[in-house]
Amino acid sequence: MKLNTWCYMVREAGGNVRRNTLMSTASVGIVAVSLFVLSVFVLLALNVNYLAATLESQVQIQVFLSRSLSTAQTAALRQQVAAVPGVRAVSYISAQAALTQLKREFGRQQDLLSAVEQHNPLRPSLAVQTVNPHQVGAVAAKLKGFQGVRKVTYKAAVVRRLFQVADALHRGGLILAGLLCLATIFIVANSVRLTVFARRHEIGIMKLVGATDALIRWPFLLEGMILGVVGSLIATGVLWESYRLLEQGVQRTIPFLPMLPSYPLMGELAVSLAALGALIGVLGSSLSLRRYLRV
């Protein structure tokens, strides 16, 4: 189609939106709410996922050693562990170092620990890092069998749990958002239907003077698209600001909690929401065109 025709159709679509103020506003609002809810779930899921991934990369295997090992035996064991395939680094933590570390973590309440200082209950250990977080389980199993090893632990369970949470959020969010989007499509359809009804006289004349179906249809499709995209812009704006505030809040109160940085996340989200909004709009208006415009 020609540029002039596109200009004409965009003007018509804009006119439709303006003339039908009440329904247009309602549609835009509902599109915005739906997309906002959808994005909240997506952001939550992404961040939990991110958190899990961050933790996963930090997962290390703690190999607790028998207290009776001599220094030479410990060194030998350490070399043996380092030679296991998949192991990236091994560091030795003596019982004394472990206690110091524990005291540091207890901070001001370290008095509680002075009682045990005489007789250190902690074991020396090896901290083992794997090349790849997924190898943690296999490596740990192998280390369990080594002479002088008393106990092997790692935090993989927590990580796995977090991934599950992210997954559930994703799935639940998608279902809820899917339902919301469906409702939104019907609201947009209703809004466009009102315009079609108000302009049925004009549409009849267009057909009689030889307007093609595409030309009759497009202004209404564009109308739906405008409603969808405007709704998505509002959702993006609110989301952007909320995320920024949340980021600042987290930064201030729980700085060690990893959060996905808003750039480029928000930009990508804005584009996806705009596309989704446009899609909702087009689906909504084609629904009402199919039913109420026999072209």
- List residues near other proteins by CB under 8 A: 1-2, 4-5, 8, 201-202, 204-213, 215-216
Closest CB to other proteins among 212 and 251? Answer: 212
Closest CB to other proteins among 155 and 207? Answer: 207
Q: Minimum distance from CB of 2 to other proteins (Å)?
A: 6
Closest CB to other proteins among 169 and 216? Answer: 216
Closest CB to other proteins among 210 and 264? Answer: 210
Q: Minimum distance from CB of 182 to other proteins (Å)?
A: 31
Q: What is the DSSP annotation of the chain? A: --HHHHHHHHHHHHHHHHHTHHHHHHHHHHHHHHHHHHHHHHHHHHHHHHHHHHHHHH--EEEEEPTT--HHHHHHHHHHHHTSTTEEEEEEE-HHHHHHHHHHHHGGGGHHHHHHHTS--PPPEEEEEESSGGGHHHHHHHHHTSTTEEEEE--HHHHHHHHHHHHHHHHHHHHHHHHHHHHHHHHHHHHHHHHHHHTHHHHHHHHHTT--HHHHHHHHHHHHHHHHHHHHHHHHHHHHHHHHHHHHHHHHH-TTS----HHHHHHHHHHHHHHHHHHHHHHHHHHHHHHH---
Closest CB to other proteins among 30 and 196? Answer: 196
